Homo-oligomer: A and B are copies of this chain.
């Protein structure tokens, strides 16, 4: 069950237009027409993305039949964030190793320059 939530959430987030739609809705609800405009997309193309987001529970649609405004439903993002938090120590360690390597390379470069200066 929790796994299914992660499946559909991550799949919904794997598209730049869908992520941009969520970013837009984080600023307030919007109609399909309002969402289609900045993306230079047709309304049917936007509607297709909205269906994926709605199935993932990431947006809800208003009842106003004309406008059916879309609203961000951020709750499924908690499960995704929680899952990724388990890996924080791994990427933090990975960046620390990279920093150490760069420091070592800089130190080697300085030693080389000094050696050249003395030759």
A6-43 contact mask (Cβ, 8 Å, vs B): 1 or 0? 11111101111001001100100000000000000000
A84 within 8 Å of B (CB atoms): yes
Q: Does A3 sit at the interface, judged by CB under 8 A?
A: yes
Q: How many residues of chain A have a CB within 8 Å of chain B?
A: 34
Q: How far is the CB of A60 from chain B (nearest CB, A)?
A: 11
For the residues of A in contact with B, the DSSP-based class is helix
Given contact pairs A10-B10, A22-B87, A74-B93, a sample of 14 additional A-B residue pairs in the complex whose CB atoms are under 8 Å apart: A3-B19, A6-B16, A7-B16, A8-B14, A9-B14, A19-B83, A26-B90, A74-B87, A74-B90, A75-B95, A78-B91, A78-B95, A81-B88, A84-B84
A residues near B (Cβ < 8 Å) are: 3, 6-11, 13-16, 19, 22-23, 26, 72-75, 77-78, 80-81, 83-88, 90-91, 93-95
